[in-house]
Structure 1
C-alpha cells in the first residue's frame, strides 16, 4: 500500500465512521482490508481504493467501514457501569418516573449485543419494582454483521465466560450445541437499529439513560464534541450518560457534568437546553448511593 493509498483510506474511514487512524496503523489497514479486497475480486489495496473512488460502490464502502471498526464487547464489561445502573441510575428513575412508568435506554455502538443484554438482565433482576413499567432498550451499531449476531442472541462458550456471572448464565441462557442462546424474553426486551453516530440521531427519540462506552476514544476532538452535543439533545433533562473508563466529557463540553464519586457516569447539565424535555424533576445531585432531585 502506497502512502497515498493509506491517506485515502484514512480520510475515507474517518468521513464515514469518525474513526481516526494513526500514522503507524498502516499494518492494521492491510490486515483488515486485504481479505475484503480479495473477497471482492481485487488483488490489492490499490485496486480496492480505485473501486472505492468509483460512484455507486455503496456496498463496498459499508464493507470497508465495518472491517475497520472495532467490535470488542463482553457481558457486564468493567462491572462498574452496571453497578452505577442498579445503585444510582435506576433508583433515581424509579422515583422520577413513578407517574409515567416509562423509561428509554440507548446503547450506542452496541456491537454484538452483550451490553444491552447485560442491562436487560439487570432489569429482570429488579422486576418486582418494575411492575407496570414500559421500558425500551435500543441497541445501535453501524455494522450489519454485529447487529445480526446481536439479534440472534447466540454466543460461544468463550463469550459467555467473559464477565458473565455463572448464576446469570444458568438463569437466562440455554445451551444450543456448543453455543449459548439468551432467553427469548431477554431478546424481546432489546430493539436493534443500524445507526452511524456521525449521522442524525433525531429519529431515535428521547432517552433517559445512554450508554456510549469506548466509542469516543476513536474520534478526534471536534467529532467527540459534536457527538456529545447531539447525544445530549436526545436526552431527558435529568438523564444519565455512561462513558468508558478511558473517556470523559471534561474539556469537551459543558452539556454534561461528572457525577461525584461515580467514575464514568455523567448527568445532563441542568443549564443545558435539551430538545423537548420530559416533564420530570431535574437532576440535582448524587452523593454516595443517594439521589436528590428537584
Structure 2
C-alpha cells in the first residue's frame, strides 16, 4: 500500500465514508480503505494534494461542495453492460405488449433506468422498445445516475469495443451501431433520441420524476444499509403505475425490507406492488 493509504487516519477514513453514506447511501467499511485509496488517488493528484488526509482537510474547509461531489462520484461503482443478466429484459419483452394493450391506445409507456451508469441498460431497453414498435412517441425512457460524468457518457451514446462486446449480440451491434474513430461505437440516433439522461440521487425524493410502468433499479441496493434499502424500495413502489413492475439485481431482494413489493411468480428479480 502507498504512503497516502497508510497515512490515512481512522478519523479521515470515517469522514470520507460518512460523506459517501450521507450523499449517496453507499456504505464503506474499514476493509474498503484500499479501494478508497485507489479510487481517490487520481482526484488527489488533480487537486495537487499529497495524501488522503490532505484531501480530508480540504473537504472540511469552505467551498468544498464541488470537491465533495467529485469524491462521491469517484467512490461510486459504475459497472454496467448491455442486457445484463438477461432475465429482466426477457420479462420486459413479454410484459410490455400486454401492459400496452391494457393501457389502451395513445397512452405513453414510461421506463426508468435508475443508477444507469454509462447508459447500457437504458439503451438495451430502447432496443427492446424498437423491436416491439413502442419506441419514441408511445414510450419514454429515463436514465439517471449520481455521477455527472456517467450521465454525459450515456448521453453521448459512444462505447468502446470492450463495452459493446459485453452482453450485446453481434446482430444488434451491426443493426444499431456504427464504428467511429478510435475503434469506438456510436449508437444510432433514433435510440439516442429515445432515452433521456439526467443527474439524480436515489436518496432524493423522486416524486418529481413522475410515475413509471417499469423501473430498473439493479445492483445498487447492495451498497446501501438496511434503512436506506427500505426507503428506496418504498419510494419505488410509490412511483409504479398500476400493473407496473420493478426490476432488482439477481443478488437483491425485498424480503425483510418492505411489504409494498412482492415477487412476480416464476420471475427472478421482478416485483410488483403488493
What is the 5 A alignment of 1:145-160? 145-160=149-164
Report if the CA contact (8 A) 1:101-1:132 is conserved: no
- Matched with 1:94 is 100
**TM score, norm. by length of structure 2:** 0.94
Q: CA deviation at 1:131?
A: 8.5
Superposed CA RMSD:
1.3
* Matching residue within 234, 251, 259 for 1:254: 259
Write the distance in 2 (CA, Å) between the matches of 1:263 and 1:202: 27
Query: Over residues 77-131 of structure 1, what are the superposed CA-to-partner deviations in whole Å (9 max), with x where a residue is unaligned?
Result: 11111101112x213312221244311100000000000000000111111xx48
- Matched with 1:140 is 144
Q: CA deviation at 1:133?
A: 5.3
What is the 5 A alignment of 1:60-75? 60-75=67-82
Write the distance in 1 (CA, Å) between the matches of 2:195 and 2:62: 36
- Matched with 1:280 is none
Query: Over residues 145-180 of structure 1, what are the superposed CA-to-partner deviations in whole Å (9 max), with x where a residue is unaligned?
Result: 111111110111111011101110000001102110
Write the distance in 2 (CA, Å) between the matches of 1:222 and 1:133: 38
Divergent runs of 4+, >3 A: 130-133
Report if the CA contact (8 A) 2:126-2:135 is conserved: no
Write the distance in 2 (CA, Å) between the matches of 1:211 and 1:251: 20
Q: CA deviation at 1:132?
A: 9.2
3-state DSSP of counterpart to 1:150: helix
Write the distance in 1 (CA, Å) between the matches of 2:136 and 2:217: 28
Report if the CA contact (8 A) 2:15-2:56 is conserved: yes
Query: Over residues 26-75 of structure 1, what are the superposed CA-to-partner deviations in whole Å (9 max), with x where a residue is unaligned?
Result: 11111111221221111111111011112321110110000000000011
Looking at secondary structure, tell me which structure has more helix per residue.
2
Extract unaligned runs of 5+ from structure 1.
270-294
Write the distance in 1 (CA, Å) between the matches of 2:135 and 2:151: 29
Report if the CA contact (8 A) 2:136-2:194 is conserved: no
Write the distance in 2 (CA, Å) between the matches of 1:211 and 1:185: 21
- Matched with 1:119 is 125
